[in-house]
Structure 1
């Protein structure tokens, strides 16, 4: 059996996170000692690992709780759990594409600044220096 401190260290989580996850019901059938301190057996550790992994996948605590409840419902919930994972995968792919777009934009901005530093173009990135005649149409130069 592990204490909050022990399981936090074992799973590289904060004690606060362990308590929060248990308070939110992400660890079913959590055991407690005579002083009402949380005790984690191997099954409880597995639930915490599962919650930690789902959180890393971008799921909210509420979504993880729903997933836990489905797991407790048995094999008949596998199709719904599969759909949840597919939706999460799509969300992650969307975030990845948005991150690629941001990285491309930042590459262009860095090149723009390099051109300014090399004096191949004037500095048009400082709004304090914009006049009415040379104000950019969008914020892309900043």
Structure 2
């Protein structure tokens, strides 16, 4: 049997994470001694490894709990577990595309700042300057007062 500290060392989790996952019901085989101290056997360690793997994929705790509950029901839930993983993958792909759009936007902003720093372009990044330069970038000004300026 392992203590929280030992379980953390074995799994690479923090002690706080081990306690948190246990309290959330993600380690069904955890035991407690007479002093209510958590004790982890090899099965508990395996659950912690599994939870860590799912958490590293970005899976929310609530979904991990659903996955754990399905595992506890047995092999008959393999189709549901597979569907859960596929749904999580699709959500991750959507987030990836969003992150790619963010990076592309930041690359444009970085190039703009390089032009500003090299004095090839006025500072169009400061809303305080927009009234003076709106004729240069009319397409990016959305407020009615800026357009009237």
Shift in Å, 1:125 = 1.0
CA RMSD of aligned residues (A): 1.7
1:137 to 114, 135, 141: 141
Moved over 6 A (4+): none
| Distance change (3 Å), C-alpha of 1:54 and 1:138 | farther
Q: CA deviation at 1:129?
A: 1.8
Give the count of matched residue pairs. Answer: 139
> CA offsets, 1:7-39, max 9 Å, x none?
112222121111111111111121122222111
In the TM superposition, residue 77 of structure 1 has moved relative to its aligned partner by 0.2
Is 1:80 matched up with 2:80? yes
Post-superposition shift, 1:133?
A: 6.2
**For the pair shown, which has the larger CA radius of gyration, 1 or 2?**
2
Partner of 1:35: 35
Aligned to 1:21: 21
Corresponding residue SS for 1:131: helix
Q: Is the 8 A contact 2:124 2:133 kept in 1?
A: no
Partner of 2:99: 99
- Aligned residue runs from structure 1 range 27-66, under 5 A: 27-66=27-66
- Give the Cα–Cα distance (whole angstroms) in 1 for the partners of residues 48 and 8 of structure 2: 10
Instruction: Identify the residue that residue 10 of structure 2 maps to in structure 1.
Output: 10
Shift of 1:132: 6.4
Runs of at least 5 residues in structure 2 that lack an aligned partner in the other structure: 144-149
More relative contact order in 1 or in 2 (CA 8 Å, sep 6+)? 1
- In the TM superposition, what whole-angstrom CA distance separates every residue of 1:72-102 from its partner, at most 9, and x where no partner exists? 1111100000000000111111111111111
Matched residue, 2:127: 127
User: Could you state the TM-score of these two structures normalised by the residue count of structure 1?
Assistant: 0.90
What is the deviation of 1:130? 2.1
| TM-score, length basis structure 2 | 0.86
